[in-house]
Structure 1
């Protein structure tokens, strides 16, 4: 049998270890990268603060459960290869604009003001490498059109 003081020391170490493990990200739940990107339109360059999502868990959650986002904020989904991307607005409380880009950052499709809380699948008929979600109405406000360029390190020139 373990002496009482040794048991308390063991219990304290176990509690500290459990607390540290709880704070560490779980495998597949990597913390998003933070950065800035630029959307270049006919009207000029527009900079956004972004979170870049790459892990499967981050790609699935996106902007779910957020009640608002700043006008100069975006979430960039890096799918790392060209494919048909299907998005939805389940558990998303705010309208969003979605810019679909190819591997060079060229905008190949836009979905404006996606309806909050909808489970309707949102897609475009062109293979896509990444999607940038912005506050609903932002694409119109800055004048984004198909063919415009998004500049970020994830895109190859």
Structure 2
């Protein structure tokens, strides 16, 4: 099985600059995996991402119920960041148009801006 990584490319950099956001990536494909998300975990390690791919672009909601740590969330459409938000433990809530949502440890998405590219690569 190939290792999947999450890579960031700023919109202003062209093809020159890429940065690894996460080398430890889980992809939540099933409804159960997507519904559970990061709930009931005590923490996530640096370099980790949980990716939620959806069949089509729609308003995608995230909540932090039963998540005791802050995260950075990215909403993507065709690999382009449409929204970035830090969600607080337990009470954080976010929504945006997306076909993919990415959850990262708080601080991991510092430097990622709306319009940047974020992609899974093997």
Q: For this structure pair, what is the TM-score category when the shorter chain's length is used for normalisation?
A: 0.7 to 0.9
Return the alpha-carbon distance in structure 2 between the equivalents of residues 144 and 121 of structure 1. 19
CA distance, structure 1, for counterparts of residue 9 and residue 41 of structure 2: 27
Q: With a CA cutoff of 8 Å and minimum separation of 6, indicate the structure with the bigger relative contact order.
A: 2
The equivalences for 1:7-156 within 5 A come to 35-41=4-10, 42=13, 44-48=18-22, 49-102=24-77, 104-112=78-86, 114-118=87-91, 121-124=93-96, 127-140=97-110, 143-152=111-120
Give the root-mean-square deviation of aligned CA atoms.
1.9
Normalising by structure 2, we get a TM-score of 0.84
Q: Point out 4+ residue stretches in structure 1 off by more than 6 angstroms.
A: none
Greater alpha carbon shift after TM alignment, 43-52 vs 63-72: 43-52
Where does structure 1 lack aligned partners over 5 or more consecutive residues?
Answer: 1-33
SS in 2 for 1:58: helix
**Aligned pairs, how many?**
114
Unaligned runs of 5+ in 2: none
Larger Rg: 1
